[in-house]
A and B are shown apart, each in its own frame.
Chain A
Amino acid sequence: MKRTSSLFTNRSFLIGAVITLIVALTAGLSFIWTPYSVSALDIVAKLKPSSPAHWMGTDHFGRDILSMIMVGSRASIFVALVSVAIGAGIGIPLGLWAAARGGIVDEMLMRFNDLVFAFPALLSAVMITAIFGPGAINAIIAIGIFNIPVFARVARGAALSLWVREFVLAARAIGKSEGRITLDHILPNMANILIIQGTIQFSLGILAEAGLSYVGLGAQPPTPSWGRMLFEAQTMIGLAPHMALFPGLAIVATVLGLNLLGDGLRDVLDPKLRHMR
């Protein structure tokens, strides 16, 4: 209860939550309404700057940039969210298993982490998506793979510190199995840390998706994506800088919102790290 009220007095959390909520609502709204259709071309109105009719102007095909940003948010959020789910879904059980068993299992997990971290993430994501074909699904796999060791490491670290606590020793003394203790005591007590890590990986996922789309390996046209919009803006930057400005601001706002949300959660849920802002 006290933690919940602290959350609502935390400036980072509030600003981050409001920005994230706006982005999420915008993405949701795009399913039922956008100012213009993103597939409607209007060559006469191409490259128009901001105006009351087109708040963020139009692109080189006369498409409304605001509408495209609204629809583009779906690809970013979907790719980032599913890649976090993959990372958490595989990484957390691996980390918990390593912490519970120790020994060779733990050592193998650490070496697996060393191996994945040895591959520069962006390069490997580009390699995976380029080899298996561009598209949102392969972008999810490419980003998700790099989330696995991150979650595994965080879960392992948090679980190791919990395995030596008295309440876990008590659970062992009454004969609970390692699996039962992990599910009943370890996992609930490390949920905070995992939520914080989730927001961080989500924001990194948004950036990674934008990067992959920018080099043509993310969501494919005609599906709008923020990174692709920036790629198309590159050759038009001298004529229509607004084409680059708004999709970029959408990425920055989304990532900033998630980072502030993560910082706010960390301040309240993990006070030891309060000054790590």
Chain B
Amino acid sequence: MLTYASKRVLIGLVTLLAASIIVFAVLEVVPGDPARLMLGMNATEDAVRALQEQMGFNQPLLTRYFNWLGGLLTGDFGKSYTYSVPVLDLIKERMAVSLPLAMTSLVISTIIAIPVGIFAASRRGSATDTAAMGIAQIGVAIPNFWFALLLVYLFAIVLRLLPAGGFAGWENGFWPSIKSLILPSLALALPQASILARVTRSSLLDVLGEDYIRTARAKGLSRRKVLYYHALRNALIPVLTILGMQFSFLLAGTIIIENVFYLPGLGRLVFQAITQRDLIVVQGVVIMLVAIVVIINLLVDLGYAVVDPRLWSRS
């Protein structure tokens, strides 16, 4: 188990290092001099040169990479050119919107999907199973930003129950902020819930076909007891893997949804930073999101190995 865990951690670290090289390299080839972009087209050559020196833009490529990497490791993500504040502060501030948004979506998607998946699997082939999976099939096909527009039309324009966009800010109270996140969370959750419901159903059907389930039934246990006490536990293992993957997807998925709802989250920050050529912010946000994905995948892998010893015993 320890060998398996160490190998996974090492792979995670190497992935992160490679990702840092890619993020740095991709943004290096961006056309345009950041110093000139920051100062505007009318800036004098002297002013541009002075800013290049101040920001370290004129240093050799490798020096800049190692300075940036060293900064990341010590929590210094650099300073935003456009906001003139440390990038890490910006990320923390925007995370206060994106993280609750992704987590609420994950909770909503789980609350909807798992019962629907269990219900459909336990009534395999029935009209309710067909209907539930039909709806899930449509749910997978719906783009979240289109669903967001429909939600805005219904709940903000027709019923006037929820705001169409914007974020009240946590400092202005819990309820107004949560109200701003309800529609975006629902929009993000629907396609994920559809995928999760399908995975839950198929995983449960796999387990229900196993010999030990037949044995449990033959012992005289009720269908319900077999389903909830024996089958569900094992069936939820792949579901948890998908949940882990979905969290990273939801965090990145906020990039479009935050634009639909004008939410000041990480997605909107990275989008604005790209258009303003504030590359240090783009680098910081992307590497932060990649780190989150790597850590979540690592935790899912390790968690999976804990519940399924075959994984690490094979390695």
Known A-B contacts A210-B143, A241-B153; A111 and B15 likewise in contact (beta carbons under 8 Å):
yes
What B residues does A256 contact at CB under 8 A?
A: 137-138, 141
Contact B19 A238 (CB under 8 A): no
Contact A120 B138 (CB under 8 A): no
What B residues does A124 contact at CB under 8 A?
A: 286
Q: Give CA–CA (A226, B260) in the complex, Å.
A: 16
Residue B306 interfacial (CB < 8 Å): no
- Which residues between 273 and 295 of chain B lie within 8 Å of chain A, taking CB atoms? 274-275, 282, 286, 289-290, 293-294
Residue A237 interfacial (CB < 8 Å): yes
Q: Smallest CB-CB separation from A247: which chain B residue?
A: B146
Give per-residue flags for A146-189: 1 if the beta carbon is below 8 A from chain B beta carbons, else 0: 00000000000000000000000000000000000000000000
Known A-B contacts A203-B141, A252-B138; A131 and B146 likewise in contact (beta carbons under 8 Å):
no
Known A-B contacts A120-B289, A126-B255; A252 and B145 likewise in contact (beta carbons under 8 Å):
no
What A residues does B259 contact at CB under 8 A?
A: 215
Could you say which interface size class chain B belongs to? 35 or more
Contact A121 B149 (CB under 8 A): no
Known A-B contacts A131-B26, A248-B146; A115 and B205 likewise in contact (beta carbons under 8 Å):
no
Instruction: List the one stretch of B37-45, B46-54, B219-227, B246-254 in contact with chain A.
Output: B246-254
Contact A259 B297 (CB under 8 A): no
Question: Shortest distance in angstroms between A211's beta carbon and chain B's nearest beta carbon?
Answer: 5
Contact A260 B137 (CB under 8 A): yes
What A residues does B27 contact at CB under 8 A?
A: 131
Residue A130 interfacial (CB < 8 Å): yes
Q: Give CA–CA (A111, B11) in the complex, Å.
A: 8
Residue B140 interfacial (CB < 8 Å): yes
Q: Give CA–CA (A127, B142) in the complex, Å.
A: 23
Give per-residue flags for A119-155: 1 if the beta carbon is below 8 A from chain B beta carbons, else 0: 1111110111011000000000000000000000000
- Which residues between 24 and 69 of chain A lie within 8 Å of chain B, taking CB atoms? none
Question: Shortest distance in angstroms between B142's beta carbon and chain A's nearest beta carbon?
Answer: 6
Q: Give CA–CA (A115, B21) in the complex, Å.
A: 11
Question: Shortest distance in angstroms between A215's beta carbon and chain B's nearest beta carbon?
Answer: 6
Question: Shortest distance in angstroms between A255's beta carbon and chain B's nearest beta carbon?
Answer: 4
Could you say which interface size class chain A belongs to? 35 or more
Residue A17 interfacial (CB < 8 Å): no
Known A-B contacts A127-B282, A237-B157; A215 and B140 likewise in contact (beta carbons under 8 Å):
no
Taking a contact as CB atoms closer than 8 A, the residue among B206, B274, B293 that contacts A118 in the complex is B293
Q: Give CA–CA (A237, B19) in the complex, Å.
A: 40
- Which residues between 230 and 277 of chain A lie within 8 Å of chain B, taking CB atoms? 230, 233-234, 237-238, 241, 244, 247-248, 251-253, 255-256, 259-260, 263, 275-277
Give per-residue flags for B254-273: 1 if the beta carbon is below 8 A from chain A beta carbons, else 0: 01100110000001001100
**Dominant SS at the A interface?**
helix
What B residues does A215 contact at CB under 8 A?
A: 255-256, 259, 271
Contact B146 A244 (CB under 8 A): yes
Question: Shortest distance in angstroms between B192's beta carbon and chain A's nearest beta carbon?
Answer: 13
Question: Shortest distance in angstroms between B177's beta carbon and chain A's nearest beta carbon?
Answer: 23
What B residues does A255 contact at CB under 8 A?
A: 140-141
What B residues does A203 contact at CB under 8 A?
A: 141
Question: Shortest distance in angstroms between B116's beta carbon and chain A's nearest beta carbon?
Answer: 14
Taking a contact as CB atoms closer than 8 A, the residue among A122, A241, A275, A277 that contacts B252 in the complex is A122
Residue B96 interfacial (CB < 8 Å): no
Q: Give CA–CA (A252, B253) in the complex, Å.
A: 18
Q: Smallest CB-CB separation from B145: which chain A residue?
A: A214
Contact B198 A252 (CB under 8 A): no
Taking a contact as CB atoms closer than 8 A, the residue among B14, B26, B149, B255 that contacts A122 in the complex is B255
B146, B202, B206 interface centre (most CB from chain A within 10 Å) = B146
Residue B133 interfacial (CB < 8 Å): yes
What A residues does B282 contact at CB under 8 A?
A: 127
8 shortest interchain CB distances as A-B pairs: A120-B252, A248-B146, A255-B141, A130-B274, A256-B141, A123-B252, A276-B202, A244-B149
Extra inter-chain contacts (14) besides given A118-B15, A211-B145, A276-B198, CB under 8 Å: A118-B19, A118-B294, A118-B297, A120-B252, A122-B249, A123-B267, A131-B29, A203-B141, A210-B143, A215-B255, A233-B149, A234-B149, A234-B260, A277-B133
